[in-house]
Chains A and B, each alone.
Chain A
Amino acid sequence: MQLDGLSGREPLLVDVEGSNRRDFVKVALMAGAAVGLPAALSAQIAEAAVKGVKPSVIWLHFQECTGCTESLLRTSHPDVAELILDLISLDYHETLFAAAGHQAEAALKKTMKDHEGKYVLVVEGAIPTKENGIYCQIGGRTAVDILNEVAGKAGAIIAIGSCASWGGIPSAEPNPTGATGAPMILKGKTVVTIPGCPANPYNLLGTVLQFATLGTLPALDEKGRPKFAYGRTIHEHCPRRAHFDAGRFVQKFGDEGHRQGWCLYKTGCKGPATHANCSVLPFAEVPDAWPIGIGHPCFGCTEQALAFRKPLHDTVDVERPTPPDTYAPLHAPMGKVAPIATGVAGLIGGALLGAGWAASKKLGTTEEASKEPRKEA
């Protein structure tokens, strides 16, 4: 409804028999492949979309910068922004809405009623909890209330971005608003989290498409992150990995190693502990459009323990260490001699020898003494 006016041109799927359809299938395949769905399934997604089976999506904004939405819209090749607008029925989205005020509220109510138990809820932004959540209100209601109400009737809940996943920047120390993530509010419900600052839109797309087509959610890790995107660390697919294995490190920004594109670990790269697919799925299809690509260490935006918590240039532990490009020598030195121990041993040895000698000297006299009648007793 509202979306028609928004897109400003003919919807992509109108001419399904022509080249647009072919493009669409191609893009659906690519999107499916990107998120690790089998090719047959991608075709199925495309077919479903062609038939107009579009999942209804409600997109809530709380404490955020809208970066995740922006990122989604800037996906340029293929034109994912448009695609998702046609693949899904985005029935409520505060940024992309033409409607405002009561009109918008009415749209939300209607969607929730029409698609009860089937619509997908996407949450963007953290939820403040201090002072009964007064720090973020829409239409006079707190974020906590809105979230609880909309999530209650949703078919699937997705938290996009680090803010919605666990609180993100708003929750950084000292966290004045008590900001937290959607999973912390919606305890007991399955919340797919797609952390990232911003999140890679493909990861959202894949999750939504799978739900729309198959009615299932992708396999998740213990933090609710789809394993297809967050199963491995940045380090494991890093384009600079060879430099790490060879021990070639940037020591400080602007040094020779930095110019040569060496490993950024020592400048605080969080890649070895950060689960994300940035290194294999570029943002907005722009090669190197991510921190390590531009010569900055990964700052661990998908990890609650790292992003906005661990100082930017502090190093992290390597999660799954593997052998380097170097080898053990045939005979590696082992065992050390503690100087203090040798000193003590020397003292004891010397004392014993000295005592032995002294005792033997003394004995001569004792012997003579004992030849005489004993003085005492």
Chain B
Amino acid sequence: MTIDMEGLPVDHTPVTLRSFQREVCLAVSRSVSPWILLLFLCLIASGPSLANDYVDTLIGRAEARELWNDPYWRTLVHYEKGLFGTRSLVDDPDFFASPRGKTDPRAELEATLRLLFQDPAPTDEGATGSAGDSLKVKSPICRFVARFEWLTEALDIDESRVPETRCEPFEDLYTAVGADAVSLIFPTSHMNSPASMYGHTLLTIGAASETSLLSHAINYSAVTNETFGPLYIAKGLLGLYPGYFSMLPYYAKLQEYSDVNDRDIWEYPLELGREEIRRLFLHLYELENINSNYYFFSQNCSYHLLYLLEAARPGLELTDRFGWWVIPLDTIREVQSAGLVGEPIYRPSKSTKVSFLAGLSSRTERHLARDIAKGGVSPSEEPMLTDDGLPKDTRIRVLDLAGEYLQYIYAKGEVEQDAYVPRFLGTLRARSALGASGEWRYSIPPPTAPERGHRSARIEAGTVFVRRGPGGHGPLDAFPIVAIRPAYHDLLDNGAGFKRGSQIVFAETGIRYDPRREKLRVEFFDAIDIVSLAPRDLYFHHTSWRIETGLVRRTDRSGGDPLVFHFGTGFGWAFEMPLLGLPYLMFDTESQFGGGLDPNYSLGAGGSAGVLGDFTSWWKFHLRGRAMLYRIGDEDDRLELEAGQSLITSTNTSLTVEVRRLRERDRSHTETWVSARIHY
């Protein structure tokens, strides 16, 4: 399974005398003549009874101290205490020295010790999994290089009695990578991809130098060829994909995130010493080609990275703090509160650079730069780009903008390579004739760092006032309401640290109390509610969209309001308007199912228009109107007008008022929600 892209020699195992003898023994003992003598020699050579005695001594020491209960041993083998006792989260049999290792820390410790004192020749033991090929050439010391270093110290092992104490391939790699600085990397969400909104983390490791481009990215990810969306998600939730660690040059990751996926990146330098980084790397080496089942929400990329940090600094407890739900950003907060994180560094993506430069330019300059990138204007022939045209500084900016944008559209596949090459070179040539610009010109002011935004979970408490009756002038009812959601961000929440115009809500439940009947009832359940408002402009032609599913209250024919299951989608456009925010238009569809409907389903289509006002940090509003016509199944027309506003009182608190006017089944009512919201 390993792709040896550089044609590296894989077999670094030194041939020791003993292993050589064994090979000779096996070859010769099949032949006839002096086999008795040879067999005898073999017995002497490969019968290390003294070593066995020493292992027994060490195992005795480990038993006396119950070393298998040591937290560091639990970190190294990824043991977790669960409902069914202790289990390792690693699912690869090759990771264990003992066949019972996954569930038995003690057996694993003993087997590891015995293995380390075994003949260091390539062994087939345990190499039964798919990655077996590479393991056959890993000697025991290389398989368990981190365990060995720890055990040596913990049990005071006499290294002269161990067959092999040094894993050369590891040492080579360690030297090559120059491991003396580690950073935690957080690529922020990608505008139009719901999976990326959840976030991702990786590590970089490299030499402490003035540039981080040469460090290596350590990434844990699921491996799959599944492309069918629903199945992809379902399998991911059930842990049906194997997850592996990998290492790539960091610049390759930057190309992926920054140049192709439009994701800004935050780099958090970790305050780890050289010894700690070495331990991290030792453990990473043990995890090469070792798989653990990958669960999207719990045992995911960010969770498994925490093991590397725990391995780096014994005594650190990071993985214990998470349960069913591991949000990458929360892992950064944990690492931060463990005192490991320095000041973050912001790395804007290509599209952020384009937007920034465009924001500094006049309308004419923006059009000129776009025309150069699109090929309509040749920089060498354009009069505005000569000394008699625009001022030099402006020309520099226009050409830089054109160059960045051209790279952007090339990465998006909007321009063919044949056209791109001469256009790109022409632009750069014109640019280079103008001389240096000084980088200060383009230092993009960093936005609020993501971990300084509001926390992931939210609780809301307040009152809903409902007025029903003809024309909405009937009696006013008031119901206390509480809503809880584990993740993540909605359009009215404090936007600092989050992608503008994005909303991602998971599993929010609202419960309403009816004081007259003295009853609680579920008011709504938003399983998933995602909105992505991506403004279109001269440079970017984003499609905005939304998708939501869950349980909602709908008015039925008899005037009741039963819960129905619904699934809605919307596609459209958003724009950026000064002093207004983000206005948008969408085409919507909705399917509803439930016993309250007659028949028990209804399908409809319609449209919505709205505006999100978010131009201050302390006040936000969202106005929306939507008309839906249900024409299949239970027929009805539904009209919603909604005005919400939120007063942001601190990073994690806000006060919200939302007024909603609804017309369905030819009846109207007005709901007013007044609530306080706290992120925690």
Do A and B actually bind?
no
Chain B residues with a Cβ under 8 A of chain A: none
